[in-house]
Amino acid sequence: MQKRKLGKSGLEVSALGLGCMGLSFGYGPATEKEQGIKLIRAAYELGVTFFDTAEAYGPFLNEELVGEALAPVRDKVVIATKFGFKEGKPPLGLDSRPEHIREITDAALKRLKTDVIDLLYQHRVDPNVPIEDVAGTVKELIAEGKVKYFGMSEAGAQTIRRAHAVQPVAALQSEYSLWWREPEAEILPTLEELGIGFVPFSPLGKGFLTGKIDADTTFDSTDFRNVVPRFSAENRKANRNLVDVLSTIAAQKGVTNAQIALAWLLAQKPWIVPIPGTTKLHRLEENLGAAAVELTTDDLRNIENAVSGVEVQGERYPAQLQKLTGR
């Protein structure tokens, strides 16, 4: 697995990371603990050195899982986690008060079985706390040796600039894929200018770009996708056009849809590190195979031409969650 540096921060990670959320939260029942540990350790054996979690995934269960799984190789991996929700529960609202950030950091260190968090993200921008206070608190935690790097998630360009002026932002984590390209307008140019790395989550469109989901797919009652407008049966049917385009290109290259979608992201900028998640070993192996897929200039032009004619239907979040992005 090749390595990449997240912007000018100096933080070096595998070209593809592992998003661990789905092992505990969001996509149906949690994976059995031993299975989760096995998958995370398999990712490491396959070359992944970048693992993503958050207090809100569970809450707390995912951090504990990641901490236990990576304890034997802790000095060889980069662990990213996040703060920002009351009691770690998104429905309760945001909380990025400095004292709360400190509480969560100390608790996360214990759950992750480590003495330092490599990358600490603010999960969502809290309008009730000046971003300068948030960045300043993380700056203090870095000085104290509890955190190495500061990250943000789903933040708007101006907020990123204000935070970066107080404590350099190593990475922004936001949704980005062939079916959500909004970051290209303002976010990517801002990150390039400031030397900040980009960590796309949901790089496979929450599974949709793999081609395994159609209008007839039913999700578990606890699956987050049940409330996502883009995943209504009607929109899934309409959005199938994008999957069909990807399938054609993938077949021509002799790879899978997922590999094309991830290789496309890797080809956009050398400081982009996607974090696809999965609960299945064969999907993990498939996803990581994308790092070896070479897309030529012609390939990228063909993909661009093919997908530009497809208009994706439906919002990517329900209204109350959409309000938390881009601030």
Q: Which residues lie below 8 Å from residue 213, measured CB to CB, with a gap of 6+?
A: 207, 231, 236
Query: 21 with 57: CB under 8 angstroms?
Result: yes
* Residues marked as catalytic: 57
Task: Please state whether 10 falls in left (phi above 0), alpha (psi between -120 and 50) or beta.
Answer: left
CA separation for the pair 307, 171 (Å, rounded): 27
Altogether, the residues listed in the chain come to a count of: 327
Query: 159 with 120: CB under 8 angstroms?
Result: no
Q: Which two tokens stand for residue 106?
A: 């100390």
Q: Which two tokens stand for residue 233?
A: 């049966």
With CA atoms as reference, report the closest residue to 311 among 240, 261, 249: 240
DSSP letter string over 26-93?
A: SBSSPPPHHHHHHHHHHHHHTT--EEE--TTTTTTHHHHHHHHHHGGGGGG-EEEEEE-BGGG-GGG-
- Note the Cα 113 to chain centre separation in Å: 22
Query: 138 with 120: CB under 8 angstroms?
Result: yes
Query: 68 with 37: CB under 8 angstroms?
Result: yes
Torsion of CA 270, 273, 274, 279, to 10 degrees: 140
Query: 278 with 22: CB under 8 angstroms?
Result: yes
